[in-house]
Structure 1
Amino acid sequence: MEFLTTLITNVPDGTADATVNDTRSREALRAAELAEQGHLLRLWRPPVEPGEWRTLGLWRADTETELRGILATLPLHKWMTVEITPLNPHPNDPANKKS
């Protein structure tokens, strides 16, 4: 099943830059692992306000519970607010049309 996520990251005031940079580096590595495993399909950055971190993601998991467990492995998760929307196939989806 596929899911659309909105991930909003709020780093607590006073967090050391070195901690933020290390966490972001580990986040990139974990995202690459999840992509390799077939869970992370796409990521987008919508327009945001200065200082705001917001990411839209397309994920694959068997259940929402499984996806929540996967997202919990992201190093930035401790600073995230997560919104998950399950996606069901649409009968008019061009990807499902046969030639």
Structure 2
Amino acid sequence: MHEFLVELTTTVPDGTDPAEVDRVRAAEAARAGELAADGHLVRLWRPVGELRSIGLWRADDEAALRRDVLGTLPLWPWMTATITALQSHPSDPGRADASA
């Protein structure tokens, strides 16, 4: 699997019923847990004072990430995403082969 840095910003459409927002956010949390258990969602952060999220995600390729992973998030229709494909850096202390 490949790794991706994904910045997600959610914008709830004006006039959306607050109960619907609560329902979708609860479904989002459940789905994120499933994606983490499946190895797709590795880490997730929220910058201090901001409403966007930054995550480390894994998928076979960017198309699969959009279609099969992010596209299954209940909030996805309200999200904008910036996706950056990542590759290992030779100086990354977390590399599996760093000591080789």
TM-score, normalised to structure 1, is 0.92
Aligned to 1:16: 17
What is the alpha-carbon distance in structure 2 between the residues aligned to residue 3 and residue 48 of structure 1? 23
What is the alpha-carbon distance in structure 2 between the residues aligned to residue 81 and residue 48 of structure 1? 19
Aligned to 1:62: 60
Unaligned residue ranges in structure 2 (runs of 5+) = none
What is the alpha-carbon distance in structure 1 between the residues aligned to residue 55 and residue 49 of structure 2? 15
The amino acid that maps onto 2:65 is L
Aligned to 2:30: 29
Runs of 4+ in 1 over 6 A off after TM superposition: none
The total of aligned residue pairs comes to 96
How does 1:88-99 map onto structure 2 within 5 Å? 88-96=87-95, 97-98=98-99
Of all paired residues, the percent bearing the same amino acid is: 56
Residue 48 of structure 1 contacts residue 54 of structure 1 at CA under 8 Å; is this kept in 2? no
Residue 7 of structure 1 contacts residue 56 of structure 1 at CA under 8 Å; is this kept in 2? yes
Aligned to 1:4: 5
Deviation at 1:98, TM superposition (A): 1.8
Superposition RMSD in Å: 1.2
Unaligned residue ranges in structure 1 (runs of 5+) = none
The amino acid that maps onto 2:53 is T
The amino acid that maps onto 2:81 is V
The amino acid that maps onto 1:58 is L
What is the alpha-carbon distance in structure 1 between the residues aligned to residue 76 and residue 48 of structure 2? 21
The amino acid that maps onto 1:80 is M
Deviation at 1:62, TM superposition (A): 1.0
